[in-house]
Structure 1
Amino acid sequence: MATKLFLMLILLSHVASSLSELCHPQDKMALLQIKKELNNPTILSSWKPHTDCCKIWNGVNCFRSKNRVGYLTISHDNNLRSKFPLSIGNLPYLESIFFYHLPNLTGPIPIEPISKLLKLKTLTISSTGMSGTIPDFPAQMKNLFNLDLSSNHFSGSLPPSLFKLPKLEMIRFYNNSLTGSIPSSYGYFNKKNLPSLLLSDNQLYGKLPLSLARLNTTVIDLSYNKFEGDASMLFGSNKATREIHISNNLFKFDLGKVELSKTMTTLDVSHNQIYGKFPMGIENISWLNVSYNRMCGKIPKGGNMHIFGVNSFFHNRCLCGSPLPNCK
């Protein structure tokens, strides 16, 4: 009798355990398949079939109200050797993917499974060994607002249809091997989102499209590329721009004729062929570098100008005044 009672208690405990599990069976199956596709890395050793994926699985977070996986983080593993897991498309409630510092995660971005994730808001694939071209993410991914593909080995041209993603606010493609010019469509992002466009440290080239005059962005970083010609369309007094970084290119335009936004805090135009005088309002900027250009005239006084040293101004054609030598 005691033995039967003991066995019944064990059975009831298993039933209670299964009923209290938060992890949805479909999500657990998908995660276990992802682990298999990633070649069972040590970092995922907590992903065990008989445990609750929403409670103790490393890098997995769930929506308690839905019992569905909403966030997936896999990062900092030099021993993980595989391609991007295709089964990630079987997590329909996923809102955030964060794959970071996985140098042996290789291959292209599998757009077909990722495009199934209609609730996805954040896609981070950064500091990996992944390569190939950056795909055009389909407009059906209407909730995507943060796209971080920085510090990988992606090549080819910029995907032209990103502007169709209505909520996209952050584009981080810096430190790759991207080539070609900026598509004219990039001037047609949703202005209400104030998207930030970070494309530095690539091999992009050519002239900027005039349509970028429409782009109302918070931060734009085109530094360390091979762009040329006019970049004045990036400026504008009615824009909400806080930072413009265009250093180490071949830009050539009159800086004195641009209009700075009232929100501007940072301007780095160093190492170009920019000429002219300083624009009005430059003294309100908190960080400035115009070195290695062809500018002329007297350095303005007042505002924040006293905080900038020689390095912010030297190697120009004929700038003068503090902190450079006095004007003659």
Structure 2
Amino acid sequence: MAPWSERALRVALSIVLLCVPMQAGAGNLSILLCNNVNVDLFDCVDLVNLYNATDGDNWVNHTNWGSNDVDSWYGVIVDPLSGRVIALDLALNGLDGEFPPSWIGLQALQFLQLSSNALRGELPEYIGDLQSLTFLQVGFNILEGPLPDSLGNLTLLENLFLGGNQFSGPLPAGIGNLLQLEVLDVFSDSFDAGGRLTGPLPDLSGLTRLRRIGLDANRLEGPFPTYLDQMPMLEELRLRGNRLSGPLPANVGSLGQLRVLDLAGNQLIGAMPSTLGNLGALEELDLSFNDFTSTLPSALGDLAQLRVLRIAGNPLEARPQVTGPIPAALANLNQLEELNLEFNRLSGALPECLGDLGNLSVLSLQANDLVGPVPEAFTALGLNTLYLGLNFLDADQDDRLILSPTLQTWFNGIPNTVDIIAGLGFLDSLDQRPVVGDPDVVFASGFEGLPSNSCTGA
């Protein structure tokens, strides 16, 4: 039998509506009201079904839902010329339930915002039939299961935000067809490995308009993409907590608009490319918990806008670590607020010029192979968090290691710091990194009782 035409469906639905008893279910809207509204019949039925499926009577705001003027329903925008619903914004509105089993209307919908509710179940396959969509956000719900392949049909889509759910399976290859896409966000909100995307990262090389990629905390694997130089507008690249492998390609340095590069917690290997220094707009760089084996590129000192630099090693696994001295060029990072290079094999003395980082508030260099005194220039830093333990530093400088009033305030909470650091004393890999000095000095006060510590005094 041939499929019904839209006209035949409309006629059939109209007959059904005439036969429906004039009474809604408890706490629901009746689709009978769609006989007398000022919008497309199918659009009205879909809205009523969504209301009933997600406990509409208990939404935070359901103003005017059920009236004849659909354009006055909270969150609904109707095109006055066509009578079609073109926007639906019900974010943070207490929707609780699953998507209706089908939508037969809403074909003119351009904007769909259902984030931060309690939508459950799977994202339905029919979402790909809404081919007028330019904006689709259903983030921060309780959605799960595979992402529908039909997402690849939304060729006008500019913003796709599905993050904060528990989707599983692969990222559909069809997303690579969304050539207008500017935002792609499908980070996981699951503590269960079963609620995360898996498999290789699909080919996104055609998405040259992308400004944000957010695929954090999934289980995506395979080599790190080499086509990033084809995304000149990219501002945020967040791939933290996946299983991407191989080297970090040099062409990452071509992303002149990039503000955030977060690749922590992957399996990247080899040398960090010196081309990172070309990222003149970069404000946050996190390459922690990978398998880099190189020294720190001096070119990092060229990142004039950088506020956060994290390249920490992994204290819980015997994995490769960054080696060599701390580049003096890092002292050029005048905007830097956080510097975290802990749990590596950095060696040599602490560069005195780091004391010139006037905006620095967090400095963590613990668990390296640093030697010598703490530079006197550090006394000028306005730090509120400082970790220098588990090195080979000489901390016998009582009179000048009280670095600032803010740091003194932080050390009033020293028991928390003791808990954090003392727990690391059980790691065999740290046993040969003594703490030298008087335990009354602030740098050593958290380390009494650790293996291989050379603290003296009462």
TM-score by length of 1: 0.76
Q: Which residue of 1 aligns with 2:197?
A: 130
Choose from 335, 350, 365 the match for 1:263: 335
Structure 2 CA distance for aligned equivalents of residues 228 and 162 of structure 1: 23
**Paired residue secondary structure (1:151):** coil
Unaligned runs of 5+ residues in structure 1 are 1-6, 25-40, 61-66
Give the letter aligned to residue 276 of structure 2: L
In the TM superposition, residue 56 of structure 1 has moved relative to its aligned partner by 10
Structure 1 CA distance for aligned equivalents of residues 204 and 263 of structure 2: 17
Mapped pair 1:110 → 2:172: yes
Which moves more between the two structures, 274-283 or 144-153?
Answer: 274-283
After superposition, the Cα gap between the structure-2 partners of 1:46 and 1:257, relative to the gap in structure 1 and judged at 3 Å, is same
Whether contact under 8 Å (2:181, 2:210) holds in the other structure is yes
Mapped pair 1:207 → 2:271: yes
Choose from 178, 202, 221 the match for 2:286: 221
Give the letter aligned to residue 239 of structure 1: A
Whether contact under 8 Å (2:300, 2:329) holds in the other structure is yes
Q: Which residue of 1 aligns with 2:313?
A: 248
Say which structure, 1 or 2, has more relative contact order (CA 8 Å, 6+ apart): 1
Q: Which residue of 2 aligns with 1:17?
A: 39
Structure 1 CA distance for aligned equivalents of residues 222 and 390 of structure 2: 34
Q: Which residue of 1 aligns with 2:350?
A: 277
Give the letter aligned to residue 374 of structure 2: K
Aligned CA-pair RMSD: 3.2
Give the letter aligned to residue 278 of structure 1: P
Structure 1 CA distance for aligned equivalents of residues 202 and 288 of structure 2: 23
**Paired residue secondary structure (1:80):** strand
1:267-318 Cα distance to aligned partner (Å, 9 max, x none): 0001111122235244421211011112232243343355344xx1111112
In the TM superposition, residue 221 of structure 1 has moved relative to its aligned partner by 0.5
In the TM superposition, residue 135 of structure 1 has moved relative to its aligned partner by 2.9
1:112-134 Cα distance to aligned partner (Å, 9 max, x none): x2233222111011114211112
- Show the 5 A alignment for 1:29-68: 42-45=97-100, 48-49=103-104, 54=109, 59=114, 68=132
**Paired residue secondary structure (2:225):** coil
After superposition, the Cα gap between the structure-2 partners of 1:43 and 1:130, relative to the gap in structure 1 and judged at 3 Å, is same
1:195-221 Cα distance to aligned partner (Å, 9 max, x none): 421111122222222333333322110
In the TM superposition, residue 186 of structure 1 has moved relative to its aligned partner by 1.5
For this pair of structures, how many residues does the alignment match? 287
1:55-82 Cα distance to aligned partner (Å, 9 max, x none): 996629xxxxxx942221234555632x
Give the letter aligned to residue 328 of structure 2: K
Structure 1 CA distance for aligned equivalents of residues 303 and 106 of structure 2: 55
Choose from 224, 230, 246 the match for 2:295: 230
Give the letter aligned to residue 366 of structure 2: S
**Paired residue secondary structure (1:180):** strand
**Paired residue secondary structure (2:196):** strand
Whether contact under 8 Å (2:232, 2:254) holds in the other structure is no
After superposition, the Cα gap between the structure-2 partners of 1:158 and 1:55, relative to the gap in structure 1 and judged at 3 Å, is closer
Higher strand share: 1
Structure 1 CA distance for aligned equivalents of residues 34 and 287 of structure 2: 63
1:219-277 Cα distance to aligned partner (Å, 9 max, x none): 11011122112113352156321111001151112115233312111100011111222
Give the letter aligned to residue 301 of structure 1: F
Which structure has the larger Rg over C-alpha atoms?
Answer: 2
After superposition, the Cα gap between the structure-2 partners of 1:292 and 1:43, relative to the gap in structure 1 and judged at 3 Å, is same
Whether contact under 8 Å (1:135, 1:159) holds in the other structure is no
Structure 2 CA distance for aligned equivalents of residues 280 and 45 of structure 1: 62
Q: Which residue of 2 aligns with 1:69?
A: 133
Q: Which residue of 2 aligns with 1:303?
A: 380
Mapped pair 1:315 → 2:390: yes
Unaligned runs of 5+ residues in structure 2 are 1-17, 19-32, 41-81, 88-95, 116-130, 189-194, 315-320, 402-441, 445-458
TM-score by length of 2: 0.56
